[in-house]
Structure 1
Amino acid sequence: MNIAEKSFCFCTLALGEKYRLMVKELANDLQQYSSGTKLIVGTDKPNDFDSEPNIIAFKLNQQGVLHCYNDKRFVLEKALLNFKTAIYIDADTKIVETIPNDLLFPAGLIGCHKNMFEHITRYRPQDVEKLTKMSLKLNIKFEEAQWIGESLFIITKDAGKEQDFLKTWSKLATYSELRGMYSGEGNIMGLAAAKVGWQINKSESWDFLKQISQHLDASRQRSKQAFWSYFKSKLAYHYRLNKIRLLALKDFSFYYL
């Protein structure tokens, strides 16, 4: 892939037919409202996007033990290889207005945010102890960290801090999933951002993108699985769980003590 003419791109996950279809619709929206903008897609079937001129798809199987929420970090990593700015957007999102080419993106992480302690105690009180333990391992103050909105956020290169952020996110994702915390990646992101010293803000560009996008939240629309599909998903779950258990042994003190 050559270095892009534009400094920014969009990126997302498309694991499974349902989400691949949604990403094609999102790509059509971008083609209409932001011509020339690339959409980086991590997907189980990259060939499914061969006919989409603005999609750059790469092979990605689900890495998360139960869900793929923390797998967002892989598409961000891929996007930042060739773009200064990566705009993460959920696949189940519609773009409804023209996106100008001159949007400004300050270095670091931009997105919706709230004080993590207040957010957690209200929405996920069962995770307070786990997140507090993670903050202690990172040597940061849990009370000062921010929860980050997961469906639309922006990362712009910041002298290598973006790579440290993704590495820390990866480490925390493994730690949390070993303890049965399979969602809430906005909290993991917030801890990782605090570790690298990022101050989370919003910006005019983020506000604009939020206004001209419509998030459908398709993850809440779950259909009943057939027996064979359920069986395969359970096998995959135990495979991924045992895999991270073994990999975590390489840093036993961080993950198990």
Structure 2
Amino acid sequence: MRHPMNVVSQRLTGWSAATPHDKELAHRRLQEKFDVDLNDGQMFEIVERHCRERYKEHRSTCHKKYKELKLEGKDPIQHKPSIVKTQDDWEWMCAHFESEGFLKRSAAATRNRAKIPYNHHGGTISFVATREALSTQEEPVGPIELFRRMHSTAKGRDNQLVESHYKEMVELQQSQLQLEDHASIMDETAIRAQVIGRSAGTISGIGPAPHKSYINTRKAPSKVIELLELLTQKDKDKTEQLELLTQNDKDKDNLISQLT
């Protein structure tokens, strides 16, 4: 799928600000590549989330380039990234990045990221899709095992807090086997939620709480999961290409600076 930026305006504060016409163009481009039924409420919401995240990632890449230029003492307006369609679009973005509202949101996001105790290694693939891909009929992957895999590398777990949380989950799970009152036995989802806590608007081990029409994502048909994984992989490849282009622009600027 081509990036939503190729068919909709780049001068939006976010995907939610896109007009129905712009969204229809993006959806039509998607349907040219994949067999998707947008009359299916669940499928429609997956596509909308995909577009929303891609728009956000594109804007984040542009903001990263803007900040790099600022740190290098350059005028961002004079160095439009190749991923931005026109100079007018880039000038709009630069003004947007300097606006009071954007600066406040950016500062709040930075503070919130600093509160995250540890990161996962799932990349852009959702926990739901990862769990579906790792599970087999003979050996399904539960929330506790998913936690271990998502927060582990070949060298082990990231930090002591991850190690402590996983150990506590396993011990709590084993202790359930000794309970005689079956009504009080916790399943893995409850165990994980008790150990790592609950957050408003999120589902433990899954992510942001879905809208009502998206509530059955964990049991989505394989076709939906396959589409989601394929879209995610294509976006990952596209992001890597964009980062390479951005680096090439930076290398060219450095070379020009050395020659002048």
TM norm structure 2: 0.29
Bigger helix share: 2
Bigger strand share: 1
Structure with the greater alpha carbon radius of gyration: 2
